Amino acid sequence: MSYIRSQIGDRAGLRVLDVACGAGHFGFTFADIATTRISFFDASASMLRAVKDGAATRGIEVETVVGLAEVLPFDDESFDLVVSRLAPHHFLDPCKATKEMARVLSPGGQCAIIDLEGPFDGTADVINCTIETLHDPTHVRSYSQLEWCKFMRSADLLIEAVQGGLRESPEGVTVERWCEIASTDSKARADIEAVLIGAPARELAMLGIWHDGEGYRVPIRTTLIFARKPSQ
């Protein structure tokens, strides 16, 4: 977050869009500079109601729109900053969604994505996708840094930074706690533990998953991709 703010600077009056915003926590962090327009977009109407409640608590005016990231219902070049955090792994077509985010950006506008990091190794990727889908059935796939660079370039965005190996929880979370966060049922939790028990140590190390003597811990690794739309 501090890196993103350092790249944006202290500019005010920005038009900001939070894509697949959930309850809007990420988008709200830009409220002080989004004094012209701040929009929250999500597939869930209930999440957008939570955004409205959060905006009322903060005393700010927001726009909420429901829909899919692959088809953003906004005009071309209508935002100066587009962000999305811990959501693109749910996208059905991340390449198309990235192109849509680029389309609604103004020339010189910036795009910041933070999402679960997919491994480069094929076997580790299969293990990761298996446990992520058990953890959350709406999970589609976590993409590697290389794949995100391809998405950005296919949208004609200029990549300014890629930071991998970030962690939402530096000390990791237990599988039990990880499943509690997502309301994962007990069978899925048992299946996750079975996958980890049977997984090769090499691949677990690649994923940053380790056993602390009592159980497995998951690091919730993320990648930050920061890009800019070329100025005309």
In three-state secondary structure terms, 190 is: helix
Question: Is residue 72 scored above 90 in pLDDT?
Answer: yes
In three-state secondary structure terms, 61 is: coil
What pLDDT band is residue 3 in, cutting at 50, 70 and 90?
Answer: confident
Query: Does residue 129 lie within any of the structural domains?
Result: no
Query: Does residue 21 lie within any of the structural domains?
Result: yes
CA angle 114, 119, 125 (to 5 degrees): 120
Torsion angle in degrees (nearest 10) through CA of 124, 130, 132, 133: 150
Q: What domain count does the chain have?
A: 1
Q: What does the pLDDT look like over 111-149, one tens digit per residue?
A: 999 999 999 999 999 999 999 999 999 999 999 999 999
Query: Does residue 32 lie within any of the structural domains?
Result: yes
Confidence (pLDDT) at 187: 96
Give me the domain span that covers residue 109.
2-118+138-166+223-228
Q: What does the pLDDT look like over 38-47, one tens digit per residue?
A: 999 999 999 9
**Terminal-to-terminal C-alpha distance of the chain:** 28
Question: Is residue 9 scored above 80 in pLDDT?
Answer: no
What pLDDT band is residue 55 in, cutting at 50, 70 and 90?
Answer: very high
Q: How far is CA 18 from CA 28, 40, 120, 156, 197, in A?
A: 9, 5, 28, 20, 38
Contact 91, 139 (CB under 8 A): no
Phi, psi dihedrals of residue 139, rounded to the nearest 5°: -65, 135
**Longest CA–CA separation in the chain, Å:** 57
Query: Does residue 17 lie within any of the structural domains?
Result: yes
What pLDDT band is residue 225 in, cutting at 50, 70 and 90?
Answer: very high
- Name the percent of the chain lying above pLDDT 90: 90
- Nearest Cα neighbor of 165 from 220, 232, 216 is 220
Look up the CATH number of the domain holding residue 55: 3.40.50.150
Query: Does residue 200 lie within any of the structural domains?
Result: no
In three-state secondary structure terms, 140 is: coil
- Residue keyed to tokens 């929250």: 40
Question: 105-116 and 210-211 as β-strands: parallel, antiparallel, unpaired?
Answer: unpaired
Query: Does residue 195 lie within any of the structural domains?
Result: no
Query: Does residue 130 lie within any of the structural domains?
Result: no
Confidence (pLDDT) at 4: 86
Query: Does residue 188 lie within any of the structural domains?
Result: no
- DSSP string across 149-191: HHHHHHTTPEEEEEEEEEESSTT-EEHHHHHHHTT--HHHHHH
